[in-house]
Structure 1
């Protein structure tokens, strides 16, 4: 256990227990730290570390990655946000609820006594965050996503910071969250102040805007866009390898009537597929086969993906499944 500062409070967190929940490549568990291959990039030699306790030069929970060119380092909530594929705000909420016994959550309402009425805190981000970004990215083009598809999903490219952006937009057109992914590594982060990722589905605004009745559900945003690029069927992304009841509700309220499951070809992807099949009841479900050697949809050739969609398999789901 170690004392770390979270949201202006000092709480006692079991850092080692928290990071043991995740799979690590070539891990070396020391009494005071973990050394492993970097989770932020493709790495074959352990050059990443995270401290379990304070040291002479760093606080508990601090991490560093010295093997990726420019030295990268950060704090514990940032690391957990990456590993969980969610915002730092959600990690802060989790840590406080898990380790701060007196934490009862932040109120979403405030009382304006001068006017004697309740005011609801406005949720989401300012659309101006998308201003001054390049409209297209050669990085995404290299991943098989045309400029036209990039514009359809409203991607952006921040050349100064070397990141591509994926806007999560609500059905009524508000910017809910903004994911930023570096083009030179697997590292990503979210713009602060957005709606929790557990409530959001990438691309769902397009289902409403253009009345899409069928969609391909993926884990990653790039897979969703690639699916649309190749097949013309709307791709939507969970943004993670699990699906929450909130995400299910968002999809079931949309125009989507048929869902093709395009989760990753690994253990986490199988878990997501099972969750989707168990949680939905009123939407027709299909699964596809991903060829051996391909880890996700973006790994497949256009011909392979087209054939997989053409040969999709209908799956019966119970009408009594509820989100």
Structure 2
């Protein structure tokens, strides 16, 4: 889930430029508004520029863009969303992925029959559902509730860490990874993508968690996220590094329960908290 930021300071030499902190390819890491528009529309830079051109602008002049800026001041407090229409005892899509009906109910999961999609609510630290992710059962498409709070400011499952006073938690990328680990007896939270924002870090720092087991995906984005989590949480809690056994891509891919427990147990034997050490050099491979 890319996280974009746009520089809106008119005095900045980079005014109007955007950045994607989660990008692995430099080509997709930053650029101007035309480039962003081209990526979003899946068209060439030249086509994007032509579409954005105003009839009043010279052919070789800059395009005229309309940008909606957020007014200054604190953002409005996110309001709870209504998920009552999607409640379900158990969703086969999740059950088939090793997530127990009890854990599905604990996370208020449901099913949208009209869209044939699983509904996975995101809660604030007090337990109120303030967004939800729809995950299609017919493909890889997903979307969030209209008007829901930005997930970049939230952590999936953080309400359980707060309400239950959980001291040790595994941090992963996806909702299904977190719920699968819960189904196997391991409290877990998810960031919802491959970035760990400052808001998410602060929410976790304020939680009861004292030991954080980093269990991101086995790919380059997961490695980057692993380093980001360690950098922002170092000094706030004990850090451990769990590596999912190959060929598993993520926690939910480890269907062998013995292998899963062995991986977590091996990680807990070695505390990787060192103020100046890069955690990649100290990981344990199962």
Settle same-fold status: TM greater than 0.5.
yes
Q: How does 1:130-145 map to 2 (within 5 A)?
A: 130-145=84-99
Shift of 1:176: 2.1
Q: Within 2, Cα distance between the matches of 1:140 and 1:100?
A: 43
Structure 1 pair 108/162, CA: closer, same or farther in 2 (3 Å)? farther
Match of 1:306 in 2: 261
Shift of 1:104: 4.3
Structure 1 pair 104/161, CA: closer, same or farther in 2 (3 Å)? closer
SS in 1 for 2:83: helix
Shift of 1:106: 2.8
Match of 1:46 in 2: none
Q: TM-score, normalised by structure 2?
A: 0.71
Q: Within 2, Cα distance between the matches of 1:121 and 1:199?
A: 13
2:145 maps to 1:165: no
Show CA shifts across 1:95-151 (max 9, x none). xxxx96875423457xxxxxxxxxx8442332x233343232000000010111111
Shift of 1:169: 0.6
Match of 2:103 in 1: 149
Match of 2:150 in 1: 196
Gaps of 5+ in 2: 1-15, 19-24, 30-37, 53-63, 277-286
Q: Within 2, Cα distance between the matches of 1:309 and 1:150?
A: 22
2:132 maps to 1:125: no
Aligned length: 229
Q: Which has the higher strand share?
A: 1
Q: Within 1, Cα distance between the matches of 2:264 and 2:17?
A: 46
* Higher RCO (C-alpha under 8 Å, 6+ residues apart): 2
Shift of 1:190: 0.5
Q: Within 2, Cα distance between the matches of 1:125 and 1:185?
A: 28
Match of 1:292 in 2: 246
Aligned with residue 70 of structure 2, among 105, 110, 124: 105
Show CA shifts across 1:278-316 (max 9, x none). 111211110012212111111112221111111113211
Shift of 1:54: 10
